[in-house]
Structure 1
Amino acid sequence: MTRFPVRKVAVLGAGVMGAQIAAHLVNVKVPVVLFDLPAKEGPKNAIVTKAVDGLKKLKPSPLGVPEDAALIQQANYEEHLDLLKDCDLVIEAIAERMDWKLDLYKKIAPSLAPHAIVASNTSGLSITKLSEVLPEEIKPRFCGIHFFNPPRYMYLVELIATPTTQPEVIDQLEAFVTSAVGKGVVRAKDTPNFVANRVGIAGMLATMKEAETFGLSYDVVDDLTGKKLGRASSGTFRTADVVGLDTMAHVIKTLQDNLADDPFFPSYATPAVVTKLIGAGALGQKSGAGFYKKVGKDIQRFDAATGDYVPAGKKADEIVARMLKKAPAERLKLLRESTNPQAQFLWAILRDGFHYAAVHLADIAESAREVDFAMRWGFGTSQGPFELWQQAGWKQVAEWVKADIDAGKALSEAPLPAWVFDGRDGVHTAEGSWSASQGKYIPRSKLPVYARQFFPESLVGDGSVEPLKSGTELFKNDEVRVWTLDNEVVIASITAKLHLISPLVTEGLLKAVEIAEKSYKGVVIWSPDDVFSAGANLEALMPVFMKSGGKGILPEVKKLQDAFLRLRYATVPVVSAMRGIALGGGCEISVHSAKRVAAMETYVGLVEVGVGLIPGGGGLTYIARRAAEMAAAGNANADIFAFLKDGFTNAAMAKVGTSAIESRKLGYILDSDTIVANKDELLYVAITEAKAMYDAGYRAPHKKLFPVAGRNAKATVMGQLANMRDGGFISQHDFHISTLIADVVTGGDVDAGSLVSEEYLMALERKHFCALLDNPKTQERIMGMLQTGKPVRN
């Protein structure tokens, strides 16, 4: 694949979106310069400086680690326009004012590099109108780019071409945004609010209207339209609070100002309650109040009838919650036929969604694929409207929607398009997805960048092969599938719930190594979901523990440790391809691999203290060994304890990296490892890395002894722990667990500099791990976690 070379990106506008786009570019190692107006007083870059400082305080963090804010180059339009000549991509992200944007384009045009792509991050303004002010030589390189907020976490980016945008410019930008920035790209037509906000905001307005019609409170609606419906957990009104009611009103106004001929135009009216809240300064989460507000520890909701806030927390009726657990066809039938107002409400908003998407498909998107992906990636729905419609039975649902339109129950009298009734069973097929504007099925993009995605996200009915049914199967048990895609690298996929590590999992991993060593170039541990591994399966060990106590578990822990050492010393490289959580034993699998390839959103840590245990699969041994290696690399006479302190603290406090970048800072991912921006490229990169290591002559590391910090270092740690205990910062049991961690990582009762083996330290791990299992305080923590999923502090 030939890459579009991006040496540096300029982001124009240091507001909420501009600063966070710059932050994410830093996350993915793209150099960026952030511009804003010169400050009227003090340093000229004061506006940008304040925005960059603000990035370090935001939650969830837009940065992989806060200190990377320093990597954002600061600039202002008065002094630094010459910096634009070194930028291959310029993203304008100032306020949604057409006149302001046009003035800025005139100002920057003379300074742009002759090849630079210029893109406006607008949520709904006409890209074509924006382009009209540009010099003729820039118009072919101008387009729209719409990041969703927050840019680090939201997968969707919409790209919008104008009639004068060169096709190769959009292709280059799509490749860059997909692979380098790590996003899912949807190409949108240049219509108001594009795809996701057009369908999504119309859906939110419909939900608000139907909630009023059926007399439902905001908290009940949010419970109904959250996870129960396969949508974002924040539901509808809480989502509006997070977005900001003023921002939502602005997006609604774009619909009102530009869609007077839309058959759904009456439904674009700003809800009276939104106008009322904005007038009172209640803009949502950013102002401390909106549809909801927090009072002390309590959440209250706005009562439109009284104008006051009242206690929130009402839930959906249980009978309706049970309906939502049914298969799609039965679910929709039950909702439609029920007399329960909550069920009727749900059918109404689903019907409104199907109706709206079908009527507008030809105008807003190339095909139904773009609509469904836009709703998944931009609004957090598990399925887009067309997917659900197709899965529930296209023809039957179409008849139900038509009947409601004819009966005057729908939001608009507009009939469903003729293509809905042409005998089809849906809009997604193996041939492609339906394009209403072109009257045919459109296949997926064939851009070279997508060759890096072996298993891109699929849609219901599109004929995609499931990853765990692909390739050639080499071995399988109930919790691991060992297979290959290319007959060169073995893939081990853990299929157990949360990919918890049990004897069956270790069996599968060992089998993968055995097979690979005979005739393959390496092993990649990868699974097609957002969990690498949540750790050891404690429940699986419960029968043995109940029969024989901690000593009965000892052989099982030894087997686990031996398995991880087998991964470390395999004669072919073992690569952990990580995304999502890699906790406890999942972290230990990865640190015993020859290499880690991690998606940006990978959260790694040793968290066993949360259940009253210490890491037992070699995690503490790894910390001690790494400290010795780092000390030796810096200075043969260096104090090992200086390199050990952070590792001890991370394990004792169960610190988890909140990104792959922070996980690297904690020492669980190394500088030599690879962080991948796009989660769907993870398997491709991991296989490529395994092959490259093998082809470069990979040899497993030598088994060797290494020095430890010794008893004096342990005494120092214990003194600090005692102060924390006596000060009430940790409990007596926390103190006990932490002293056992210190015992392992410092090497136990030995002199500083004593040489030990991994097996020696793992024996200490086993001993302390199994002793803790017999401790009543630890048993309380384990049972609490198994029963509630929350840590017990005792």
Structure 2
Amino acid sequence: MSRFLVRKVAVLGAGVMGAQIAAHLANVRVPVVLFDLPAKEGPKNGIVSKAVEGLKKLKPAPLAVADNAALIQQANYEEHLELLQDCDLIIEAIAERLDWKLDLYTKIAPHVASHAIVASNTSGLSIGKLAEVLPEVLRPRFCGIHFFNPPRYMYLVELIPAPATQPQVLDQLEAFVTTHLGKGVVRAKDTPNFVANRVGIAGMMATMIEAEKFGLSVDVVDDLTGKKLGRASSGTFRTADVVGLDTLAHVVKTMQDNLHDDPFYATYATPPVLAGLIAQGALGQKSGAGFYKKVGKDIQRLDPATASYVSGGGKADEIVARMLKKPAAERLKLLRESSNPQAQFLWAILRDSFHYVAVHLHSVADTAREVDFAMRWGFGQQQGPFELWQAAGWTQVAKWIEEDIAAGKALSSAPLPRWVFEGPVAEHGGVHGPQGSWSAAEACFKPRTALPVYARQAFPEALVGDGSPAPLSAGTEEFRNDEIRVWSLDGEVLIASITAKLHLISPAVTEGLLKAVEIAEARYQGLVIWSPDDVFSAGANLEALMPVFMMKGAKGIAGEEKKLQDAMLRVRYAQVPVVAAMRGLALGGGCELAVHCARRVAHMESYVGLVEVGVGLLPGAGGLTYIARRAAEMAAAGNANADILAFLKDGFTNAATAKVSTSAVEARQIGYLLDSDLIVPNKDELLHVASAQVRAMAAAGYRPPQQARFAVAGRSGLATIMGQLVNMRDGGFISAHDFHLARLIAEVLCGGEVEAGSVVTEEYVMALERKYFCSLIEHPKTQERVMGMLQTGKPVRN
């Protein structure tokens, strides 16, 4: 397959989706030009300018850092259509009006480059109908592309071919979307609402029907259909409010208008309660009221019987919550056989989802794999419907569904397809296996795509029953204890995977890291620190230190801190490159581990910071030493006589306020990533890129840095910081203990009571860290914070 280079992307339409798609392109450093209509008054780019400014205020933030807004080139259709000639990909994202889209395509067609791909971001309109207006020369390079909202955070992107779309166009676009935008791609058929919205919205409508049938309030339903069920925490009705009730109704109307022959057609009717809310302008979160309404600090729920808002907070019955913790087979049996209305409701919505996907698989997706991934990535489900069905016992669950259909309990009388009971699926016990996933349309198991882009994913997301290798049991194991595994996939790059809860750093983890460095130096090109989930490390395991503190007091803690600091220096000065492959949380000790590595390869969604002040401590594993050293290095690089304090202030503020980056891009801005570090859009490519960095550094003759000696700001820098802290304390902005913590952090960063410009070693500054860390752990206020965090998981302010 020839390489498809995307030098620039045009996004047509600066509405909610178009502007946020442009923002995500800017986040991953793809040049982007955002178009909209010319403004009727003022500057012609006024509509786009307003949209770009709005990106800076949206929550969750569509921009990795607000400065990225400047990377979005602004344009309008009247003056700038010639800019399209330089674009390799054009994404149309205007309103879901077929006539408007067709009019725009006619306008842009003469300006589209001969090689460019044109894609419509639509949630459900027919891609075939959209293609009909395009000049014949463009049709082979046209398809649908469906980003989920918000585009930065939602992993799912659906690609939908038109009748004339060339297969290589979809392959090229899939590779770009996967690696450069960091998304999970599902190929969908050109049917109303495609895969995720077709199945997901049908499921929401079924949930509303069953909730009314069993007399359950919206808050109870949301508690039942949220995390307890392995789905998004917002449940059903809260999700509808967040999406927008008008948006939900629009997607439902697409089904009403185009699926008259669907055996589930009756379930697509707009519920009267939904229609009533929309008629009143109660459109959910964006209008301040929907199924929920915030009144002061309270969240009230809609009571459909009275059409008024009442106190919310209803929860699942404890007996039902306990059922949901059982293994899949036992869980579904308990729900089905229970007389509890909540349990009956849950069985009903699960049965409805199984029934629906089985009946529609042949028409909406190539295989069951696409359905399950679409529901995981687009609707936040831990398992897709086919996965759960298979895990619970394929044949038994099928019989239960068949019985409910016969008894008139199901939402449709349509029988389950024969392939459910006969042939390869029944023999295998489900739709996913090592040979692939079931295609109802082709009546066979089909393997995953073999596109070259997926060679970059050593461990792509697995499905129940598909036989995918588990990352923490794959490869050749070199060392293992209860909290870390040291292993290799290829015999060239060693991998250390922390397996403890939240990947907290304990003495066992420290032991494993030291062992990993030793093994890597002896037999490998280098070491990657990587784990296959959304936590790099949430910090030090304070609970593991409690027995030491109880037995030996602060002196015992000092010994453990010294071991941890020495381990950080061992990582920094290893004779082979050590690369941190960061994803998700890298907090406290996790941040300290990362900054001591030779290089960092971070997923875009990495949240990095030194957060120890939240438990009344200061960073004690070299984090402050790193900040002090970096400030000195930056000052020396700029001017031998530069004021170190000028380079130290931001680092001090970040540590003293426990600032955590909201993205890897911001982590680079605040100094926890360097310009030489890499940011990777796709989480599943992180290990591949980190391993490649190890090989490249080793091939280049890697040598560790020389033992560092650096200048510190000294007592004059400390005096300057203390003056500001006194003002904050006396003004009531920080508590007395916050002041105490910040003063100790400042002392460490400035090197203590020494002259400005004094040259010190890392060990010297680490000794100050250790000294003040141990003094704090004996402080009653710190002990309150530590115990509060261990008991509630939330910081205590005292």
TM-score by length of 2: 0.99
Please tell me whether residue 788 in structure 1 is matched to residue 792 in structure 2. Answer: yes
- TM-aligned CA deviation for residue 308 of structure 1: 0.7
1:679 to 665, 683, 689: 683
- Cross-structure match for 1:360: 360
The more displaced of 1-10 and 468-477 is 1-10
- Cross-structure match for 2:114: 114
Following superposition of structure 1 onto structure 2, how do residues 11-90 of structure 1 map, counting pairs within 5 Å?
Answer: 11-90=11-90
Q: Residue by residue, what CA displacement relative to the aligned partner does 1:266-325 show, whole Å, maximum 9, x if unpaired?
A: 000011111000011100000111000111110000111111100110100000000000
Please tell me whether residue 102 in structure 1 is matched to residue 102 in structure 2. Answer: yes
- Distance of 1:673 and 1:271 partners within structure 2: 52
- Cross-structure match for 1:152: 152
Paired amino acid for 2:662: T
- Cross-structure match for 1:386: 386
- Distance of 1:571 and 1:465 partners within structure 2: 31
- TM-aligned CA deviation for residue 633 of structure 1: 1.3
Q: Residue by residue, what CA displacement relative to the aligned partner does 1:647-679 show, whole Å, maximum 9, x if unpaired?
A: 000000000001101111110011110000000
The more displaced of 115-124 and 549-558 is 549-558
Paired amino acid for 1:409: K
Paired amino acid for 1:263: P
SS of match in other structure, 1:149: coil
Q: Residue by residue, what CA displacement relative to the aligned partner does 1:669-721 show, whole Å, maximum 9, x if unpaired?
A: 11110000000000000000011001011100001311011111101101101
- Cross-structure match for 2:351: 351
- Cross-structure match for 1:137: 137
- Distance of 1:368 and 1:547 partners within structure 2: 56
Following superposition of structure 1 onto structure 2, how do residues 622-637 of structure 1 map, counting pairs within 5 Å?
Answer: 622-637=626-641
- Cross-structure match for 1:721: 725
- Distance of 1:504 and 1:787 partners within structure 2: 23
- Distance of 1:341 and 1:262 partners within structure 2: 29
- TM-aligned CA deviation for residue 580 of structure 1: 0.6
Following superposition of structure 1 onto structure 2, how do residues 315-714 of structure 1 map, counting pairs within 5 Å?
Answer: 315-422=315-422, 423-424=426-427, 425-714=429-718
SS of match in other structure, 1:546: helix
How many pairs are equivalent? 794
Paired amino acid for 1:271: P
Do 1:203 and 1:353's aligned partners in 2 also have CA atoms closer than 8 Å? yes
The more displaced of 704-713 and 582-591 is 704-713
- Cross-structure match for 2:303: 303
Q: Residue by residue, what CA displacement relative to the aligned partner does 1:46-101 show, whole Å, maximum 9, x if unpaired?
A: 00000000000011100100111011000000000000000000000000000000
- TM-aligned CA deviation for residue 170 of structure 1: 0.2
Following superposition of structure 1 onto structure 2, how do residues 267-278 of structure 1 map, counting pairs within 5 Å?
Answer: 267-278=267-278
Following superposition of structure 1 onto structure 2, how do residues 181-196 of structure 1 map, counting pairs within 5 Å?
Answer: 181-196=181-196
Do 1:430 and 1:462's aligned partners in 2 also have CA atoms closer than 8 Å? yes
Q: Residue by residue, what CA displacement relative to the aligned partner does 1:549-596 show, whole Å, maximum 9, x if unpaired?
A: 212200100000000000000000000000010000000000000000
Superposed structure 1 runs of 4+ greater than 4 Å apart: none
- TM-aligned CA deviation for residue 159 of structure 1: 0.1
Paired amino acid for 1:455: F
- Distance of 1:554 and 1:735 partners within structure 2: 23
Q: Which consecutive residues of structure 2, in runs of 5 or more, have no partner in the other structure?
A: none
- Distance of 1:685 and 1:568 partners within structure 2: 20
SS of match in other structure, 1:661: helix
SS of match in other structure, 1:438: coil
Paired amino acid for 1:74: Q
The more displaced of 39-48 and 415-424 is 415-424
Q: Residue by residue, what CA displacement relative to the aligned partner does 1:176-221 show, whole Å, maximum 9, x if unpaired?
A: 0000000000000000000000000000000000000000000000
Please tell me whether residue 769 in structure 1 is matched to residue 779 in structure 2. Answer: no
- Distance of 1:273 and 1:635 partners within structure 2: 68
- Distance of 1:226 and 1:115 partners within structure 2: 45
Paired amino acid for 2:456: R
- TM-aligned CA deviation for residue 635 of structure 1: 1.3
- TM-aligned CA deviation for residue 3 of structure 1: 3.9
SS of match in other structure, 1:487: coil
SS of match in other structure, 1:671: coil
- Distance of 1:519 and 1:86 partners within structure 2: 49
Do 1:500 and 1:533's aligned partners in 2 also have CA atoms closer than 8 Å? yes
- Distance of 2:636 and 2:49 partners within structure 1: 40
- Distance of 2:130 and 2:216 partners within structure 1: 42
Paired amino acid for 1:124: G
- Cross-structure match for 1:281: 281
- Cross-structure match for 2:227: 227
- Cross-structure match for 2:209: 209
Q: Residue by residue, what CA displacement relative to the aligned partner does 1:75-134 show, whole Å, maximum 9, x if unpaired?
A: 000000000000000000000000000000000000011100000000000000000000
- TM-aligned CA deviation for residue 2 of structure 1: 6.0
2:744 to 740, 751, 755: 740
Percent sequence identity over matched residues? 78
- Distance of 1:191 and 1:59 partners within structure 2: 32
Q: Residue by residue, what CA displacement relative to the aligned partner does 1:380-425 show, whole Å, maximum 9, x if unpaired?
A: 0000000000000000000000000011110100000000001330
Q: Residue by residue, what CA displacement relative to the aligned partner does 1:588-631 show, whole Å, maximum 9, x if unpaired?
A: 00000000000010000000000000000000000000001111
Paired amino acid for 1:10: A
Do 1:19 and 1:51's aligned partners in 2 also have CA atoms closer than 8 Å? yes
- Distance of 1:312 and 1:280 partners within structure 2: 21
Do 1:3 and 1:175's aligned partners in 2 also have CA atoms closer than 8 Å? no
Paired amino acid for 1:545: F
Q: Which consecutive residues of structure 1, in runs of 5 or more, have no partner in the other structure?
A: none
- Distance of 2:203 and 2:487 partners within structure 1: 43
SS of match in other structure, 2:392: helix
- Distance of 1:7 and 1:560 partners within structure 2: 45
- Distance of 2:555 and 2:118 partners within structure 1: 66
- TM-aligned CA deviation for residue 162 of structure 1: 1.0
Following superposition of structure 1 onto structure 2, how do residues 235-274 of structure 1 map, counting pairs within 5 Å?
Answer: 235-274=235-274
SS of match in other structure, 2:57: coil
- Distance of 2:364 and 2:67 partners within structure 1: 41
SS of match in other structure, 2:658: coil
Q: 1:719 to 1:673 in 2, by over 3 A?
A: same
Paired amino acid for 1:217: S
- Distance of 1:102 and 1:81 partners within structure 2: 16
Paired amino acid for 1:186: V
Q: Residue by residue, what CA displacement relative to the aligned partner does 1:351-389 show, whole Å, maximum 9, x if unpaired?
A: 000000000000000000000000000000000000000
Paired amino acid for 1:602: S
Paired amino acid for 1:397: V
TM-score by length of 1: 1.00
- Distance of 2:345 and 2:736 partners within structure 1: 53
- Distance of 2:169 and 2:83 partners within structure 1: 22
Paired amino acid for 1:157: V
